Amino acid sequence: MQTIAIYNNKGGIGKTTFAVHLALYAAERRIRTMAIGLDRQGDLVRWLSRGEQLLQNGMVFERGKYLQVAYSPMEVPPGLQGFDLVIADCPPAIEVVDEVDANLWLVPLDGRLALENLGNVHGTICSVDSRVMLVLNRCDMIGKRALAALRKAVHQVPGVTVRGTPIPATPSIARSAEYYKPVWAVPHGEGTIGDRAIQDLCKDVLTASGFGDRC
């Protein structure tokens, strides 16, 4: 079983968007997946339940044959067996890092503050048994000079992999949360730049986690 934790100690950065799309992409490829909402806001649970589930600690429901969803604020539920993949949508809280034993930490970055916040947990998540992938997300909005400076800075972070292709800010990705659907299922979403970017990200992350033959 592989565990992917989507984390940054900054809110509003795209963690839930990444987590939801990874979970749905994996399940569509028959990878037995558990998606866990560790954030008390429960946005992952609302999204994957299409807004139909009330938030109750410890709740678990089936989104489909290959996807189960759990709401478990700040702690990974015990007894996760029978899954190929666990995806944890983490809150912007330093303490959650000690609660998650991840094989891969997926860290979205939308600017300088998001990168600097990584410094608070860098030594913990860059442990011997974990890998860290940094992904620039919506950084086309910060301007060319700021983006160039950010690109230079992320490549100076030790012990991490920097994904070369950023995720752009697009209307189709923005609509996905409004419809509680993946970008490829929203109106005018399939085949767009945002759709291709998100699906390429999912493929890269799952390949890095050993599921390349399923992507």
Residues of the chain with pLDDT under 50: none
Say if 171 falls within a structural domain: yes
Q: Could you tell me if residue 132 is inside a domain? A: no
User: What's the CATH code of the domain at 172?
Assistant: 3.40.50.300
Domain count, the chain: 1
Does any domain span residue 10?
yes
**Domain annotation covers residue 113:** no
Domain of 72?
Answer: 2-106+167-205
pLDDT of residue 124: 85
List Cβ neighbours of 191 (8 Å cut-off, separation of 6 or more). none
Helix (H) / strand (E) containing 105:
strand 104-109
The answer to whether 22 touches 87, Cβ cutoff 8 Å, is yes
Tens digit of pLDDT for each residue in 182-191? 999 999 999 9
Instruction: Specify if 196 maps to a domain.
Output: yes
Give the residues across from 107 on adjacent strands.
Answer: 134
pLDDT at 78: 82
Token digits of residue 22 = 């990874």
Pairing of strands 67-71, 60-64: antiparallel
pLDDT at 7: 95
In a domain, 158, yes or no: no
Domain presence at residue 136: no
**What 3-state DSSP class applies to 172?**
helix
